[in-house]
Structure 1
């Protein structure tokens, strides 16, 4: 009987990615579409998914939740780095790969959060 090995650190990493993606949708995506002259696409997107405007109006809440999730996921990643992996070589490799994937996902989350934060709070004042 073969069991899949999942690192307990993958869930927090993917939750942080999910929340940081929300920061991109709220702030970076509209700025990108408008800056490349796709305002009509943005208007159509808002008509199809009006919740995007809620994200933009509540960007402080969105960023706060994302920051908390990224911090918790980072703390869990740090904690899980020293947890033992199984002795079985196949399961040990799977455990190691899952930990590496979790760190990659976490760093992608951090970058997405920073890009979203730039567009939400700094780009408007810098670009005009």
Structure 2
């Protein structure tokens, strides 16, 4: 296994973490208020005031998450051309890392898309 292939798992996990921030900043408050859980949201913001910062800096949060997705995608694309070892155990580990990286990347992409939809598409549709 090469260091590049192992790095794709880390990059994909970082992209997933950054995309999760988009869900926390934008989707969580909208869903909680829509469900009538505004008081719960106030309690959550009281307990974790950093949520306000995330909401105030949506463009930065989405820019960082988008950048992480691009970096992760480029690394995954590059790693897809790397050969796996011929030793059976190492080849299985190589394929497992590729699958894990792909699942993390696509999970991050879906989370990013959902967050973006709640920030930019849903408000336009609600007008």
| TM-score clears 0.5 | yes
Following superposition, the deviation at residue 125 of structure 1 comes to 2.8
Q: TM-score, normalised by structure 2?
A: 0.92
Aligned to 1:121: 120
Give me the whole-angstrom Cα distance separating, in 2, the residues matched to 1:100 and 1:38: 38
Following superposition, the deviation at residue 68 of structure 1 comes to 0.5
SS at match of 1:7: helix
Q: TM-score, normalised by structure 1?
A: 0.91
Structure 1 portions without partners, runs of 5+: 1-5
- Give the alignment's Cα RMSD to 1 decimal: 1.2
Deviations 1:23-65 (A, max 9, x none): 0000001011111111111101100000101100100000000
Structure 1 residue ranges, 4+ long, deviating more than 6 angstroms after superposition:
none
Give me the whole-angstrom Cα distance separating, in 2, the residues matched to 1:73 and 1:14: 9
Aligned to 1:57: 56
Aligned to 1:41: 40
Deviations 1:83-114 (A, max 9, x none): 12222201111110110111111011001001
Following superposition, the deviation at residue 16 of structure 1 comes to 0.4
Alignment length, in residue pairs? 123
Aligned to 2:101: 102
Following superposition, the deviation at residue 122 of structure 1 comes to 2.2
Structure with bigger helix share is 2
